[in-house]
């Protein structure tokens, strides 16, 4: 049989396909690659042939990943999935990979055919959609849905550890008047600035979310007790009371903060948020701002503390 040449239609089709193709022998040594392989990985055919596919390894996948892959290839003769590989210059990229085992008449694997493509753009779109779904467009903070999910996780963690966690509900007093007077663009800047000040009062493990409108929620997955919660609440109040400077104008507002503790104030997302919200509204009633920690007991009471 004549050896295929570059003018052979099959070779032309192999080289023209838009997806990268790499063929190895049964021992896993590269025997041929197509043009798309070189364009994607920067390895030329001359450099790749005779090498192991490990020249593409990024180190991002662990041993279990590859054991699962080879188990599928040996058992089913096919594997597909996503992984990270590395170009010749060391740049890591995500790819979708399909591998098929080619078996001879005796059932032994003679070759492996790997077909893959870069999915960086797809991953960027997925990340963008995830941000739209779970993050607030104005502040970049988690939105209410994501906050509720993190609150659920924080409660579950505190329950397993037999510890405490806390929720703060924060309302910006006077924000509507500022938004009406200076316009929504200024209002958005105030929300961003306020969220940054609140974030600076918290630990990395805490979550700050935009609950909606001019309300923020803080989830503290681990707290020592009421005194620590009050300390954080008063620190946030002091941060909000510092004037905001927008286009040379000093803008003043304050916050009303209500907090509740798990497990004393509730055993579910709904209960603990409701307690924190009631405490916040008890402060908001006089419009001057302050902090309230929801109390324990059958008849729940509110403790008022002023920021200094």
Q: What digits encode the pLDDT tens for the residues 150-172?
A: 999 999 999 999 999 999 999 99
Spatial contact of 60 and 83, defined as CB atoms under 8 Å apart:
yes
Q: Which residue has the higher pLDDT, 2 or 10?
A: 10
- The answer to whether residue 307 scores a pLDDT higher than 70 is no
pLDDT at 99: 97
Look at 39-43, 75-79, 142-146, 176-180 and tell me which has the smallest mean pLDDT: 176-180
Fold of the domain spanning 138-305 = Alpha-Beta Plaits (3.30.70)
Q: Domain 12-124's class?
A: alpha beta
Does 30 have pLDDT greater than 60?
yes
Distances (CA, A) of 133 to 126, 213, 269: 10, 17, 20
The residues, any chain, with a CB within 8 Å of residue 191's CB and separated by 6 or more, are: 138, 139, 172, 175, 210, 214
Helical spans, DSSP H, in 162-241: 175-182, 184-200, 226-241
For the chain, what are the domain ranges? 12-124, 138-305
User: Per the confidence metrics, is the pTM higher than 0.85?
Assistant: no
| CA triple 83-204-194, angle to 5 deg | 115
């Amino acid at each position: 049989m004549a050896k295929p040449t570059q003018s052979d239609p099959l070779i032309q089709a192999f080289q023209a396909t838009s997806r990268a193709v790499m063929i190895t022998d049964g021992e896993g040594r590269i025997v041929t690659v197509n043009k798309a392989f070189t364009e994607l990985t920067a390895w030329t055919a001359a450099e790749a042939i005779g090498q192991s596919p490990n020249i593409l390894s990024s180190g991002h996948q662990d041993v279990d990943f590859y054991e699962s892959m080879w188990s599928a290839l040996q058992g089913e003769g096919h594997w597909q999935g996503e992984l990270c590989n590395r170009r010749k210059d060391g740049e890591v990229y995500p790819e979708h990979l399909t591998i098929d085992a080619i078996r001879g008449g005796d059932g032994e694997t003679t070759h492996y055919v790997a077909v893959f493509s870069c999915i960086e753009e797809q991953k960027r779109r997925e990340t963008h959609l995830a941000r739209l779904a779970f993050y607030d467009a104005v502040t970049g903070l988690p939105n209410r849905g994501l906050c509720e999910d993190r609150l659920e996780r924080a409660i579950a963690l505190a329950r397993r550890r037999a510890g405490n966690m806390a929720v703060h509900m924060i309302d910006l007093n006077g924000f509507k008047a500022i938004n009406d007077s200076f316009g929504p663009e200024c209002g958005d800047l105030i929300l961003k600035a306020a969220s940054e000040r609140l974030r600076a009062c918290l630990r990395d493990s805490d979550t700050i979310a935009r609950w909606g409108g001019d309300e923020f929620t803080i989830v503290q997955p681990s707290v020592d007790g009421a005194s620590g919660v009050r300390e954080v609440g008063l620190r946030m109040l002091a941060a909000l009371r510092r004037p905001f400077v927008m286009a040379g104008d000093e803008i003043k507002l304050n916050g009303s903060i209500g907090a509740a503790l798990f497990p004393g104030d509730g055993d579910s997302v709904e209960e603990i948020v409701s307690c924190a919200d009631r405490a916040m509204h008890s402060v908001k009633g006089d419009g001057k701002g302050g902090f309230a920690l929801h109390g324990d007991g059958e008849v729940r009471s509110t403790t008022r503390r002023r920021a200094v």
